[in-house]
Amino acid sequence: MKTKIIAIIPARGGSKGIPRKNVRLIAGKPLIAYSIEAALNSKYIEKAVVSTEDGEIAKISKKYGAEVIERPMELATDTAPTEPVLEHVVKWLQEQEGYKPDIVVLLQPTSPFRTSEHIDEALDIFLNDDCDSLLSVCPSSAFVWKMGAAGAYPINYDFKNRPRRQDKEHEYQENGAIYITTYNSLMENHNRLGGKIGLYIMPEVYSVEIDTEFDFYLCEQIINSRGEKRWDTISKRN
């Protein structure tokens, strides 16, 4: 029996950090369109669903080929977590369409450089390693500090024996681009992550998340300078 894999793209209309972020044009295309196209071009994903309470986001999402499920207003607040949104979508699909996915791929619309190839590579790892969940990460060589009551202190290295960055133990940071979970893990743990967790390592250059105006500017400059061949050009450097 074919494994049913869907992508869920949560997109609120009330973003305060960058107003109307999800429909704002980046290199001539609405930000959310990049995630929809990446999902629909995946060889594994059979349905791309946008969860939103916003009419304009819904209209644009349908234009680019996504199915839209109306998000309840209580799940569209600034403080609403993502997991209840995922659960609402899968429950709605079961109740309204008789469709129960085996695997849910969460694609946050703030990652325009995440491609269908990245999604497929992440799903290859997820399926081959028999994971319950997976997240995308990028390598990090940062020296991280925290501030405590007695002053600042490092949490991932010894400053008295400072290593070279290239000699530091491999560490990874979430890049927010891809999360994958089985239906069972999502509904049992009420979390995008649980059980056996896998990692999909993406190059840092693909891992830009749009959270600020500078992020928008940076992404647009990269897209405009690389054109349609931007991914091939960048990937040769990694």
Q: How confident is the model at residue 226 (pLDDT cuts 50, 70, 90)?
A: low
Q: Kindly report the pTM of this predicted structure.
A: 0.90
Q: Would residue 71 show up in a list of annotated catalytic residues for this protein?
A: no
Q: What is the mean pLDDT of the chain?
A: 90
Give the tens place of pLDDT for each residue, 166-221. Answer: 777 778 999 999 999 999 999 999 999 999 999 999 998 899 899 889 988 888 88
- Taking residue 210's Cβ as centre, other Cβ atoms within 10 Å add up to 27
Q: Domains in the chain, please, with CATH?
A: 5-138+173-235 (3.90.550.10)
Q: Which one of 162, 164, 165, 226 is the catalytic residue?
A: 162
pLDDT digits (tens, 9 = 90+) for 36-73: 999 999 999 999 999 999 999 999 999 999 999 999 99
Q: Which residues in 121-156 are b (16+ Cβ under 10 Å) and which e?
A: bbbebbbeeebbbbbbbbebeeeeeeeeeeeeeeee
Instruction: Give the confidence band of 82 by pLDDT, cuts at 50, 70, 90.
Output: very high
